[in-house]
Amino acid sequence: TYIGSIVASVNPYKSIPGLYDRAAVERYSRHHMGEIPPHIFAVANECYRCLWKRHDNQCILISGESGAGKTESTKLILKFLSAMSQHSLELSSREKNSCVEQAILES
């Protein structure tokens, strides 16, 4: 759920099909935060939009207890930002996209 510009999420400790797939990236990239149900991609999209609109550095704070999913949340945000940056560069090659995404996620 959202609390202002903050998304509060719970680690379900299981995979939920379709929650973080390519279609979810596309869906959240086309909407502003709050227009569709809360999602970590909405926060990442707001960050991305502000980066390009305001030309200011952006920061996402991820907090939680041990095992809460901070590392996975970070990977998901990087996945979204990687997909958006590749889309903005209009690279059509899937191989290039996965290579760049993999390099970012491994960092």
Q: How far is CA 24 from CA 4, 20, 31, 46, 49, in A?
A: 22, 6, 11, 15, 17
Q: Confirm or deny that 34 is annotated as ligand binding.
A: no
Q: Is 64 assigned a ligand-binding role in the annotation? A: yes
| 71 in a labelled binding site | yes
Q: Above 80 in pLDDT, residue 92?
A: no
Residue 60: Cβ within 10 Å count: 14
Is 29 annotated as a binding-site member? no
Q: Where are the domains of the chain?
A: 2-106
Asked if residue 70 belongs to a known ligand binding site, the reply is: yes
pTM attached to this predicted model: 0.79
CATH of range 2-106; options 3.40.30.10, 3.40.50.700, 3.40.850.10, 2.40.128.50: 3.40.850.10
pLDDT reported for residue 103:
62
Band of pLDDT at residue 104, cut at 50, 70 and 90: low
Model confidence pLDDT, tens digit, residues 11-59: 888 889 999 999 999 999 999 999 999 999 999 999 888 888 888 888 8
